[in-house]
Amino acid sequence: MRILLRVKPGASRTAVNGRYDGPGGPALVVAVSARAVEGQATKAVLAAVAAAFAVRRSAVTLVRGATSRDKLVEVDGDEAALSSRLAELLG
């Protein structure tokens, strides 16, 4: 399942929830405490998404947006369970 993300680096705490209606369509908001330096925020985002969807970190792959606040990730797993969890997180 591919999921659009809107990243907020440098947040006070890590959180995966909320909706951002951007130019690419609705995106899941991911706040991470890591700064956007040398890929640290991207690594933290992938780990946070894996934890939020209860999958292994290796099941989350960055498709596009390595240096952007808007990212597209691929999450491998049960499609129905992932869709249900995404709906919960988007609120």
Query: What's the pLDDT score for residue 67?
Result: 93
Structure tokens at 38: 């040398």
Strand, helix or coil for residue 39? coil
Q: What band does 2 get if pLDDT is binned at 50, 70 and 90?
A: very high
CA 73 to each of CA 40, 47, 49: distance values in angstroms, whole numbers, following the listed order: 16, 12, 9
Pairing label, strands 60-64, 25-32: unpaired
Global confidence as pTM? 0.94
Q: Check: CB of residue 31 under 8 Å from CB of residue 11.
A: yes
Taking only the tens place, the pLDDT of each residue in 73-89 is 999 999 999 999 999 99
Both structure tokens of 46:
């992938």
Cα separation of 25 and 23, whole Å? 6
pLDDT digits (tens, 9 = 90+) for 18-73: 999 988 899 999 999 999 999 999 999 999 999 999 999 999 999 999 999 999 99
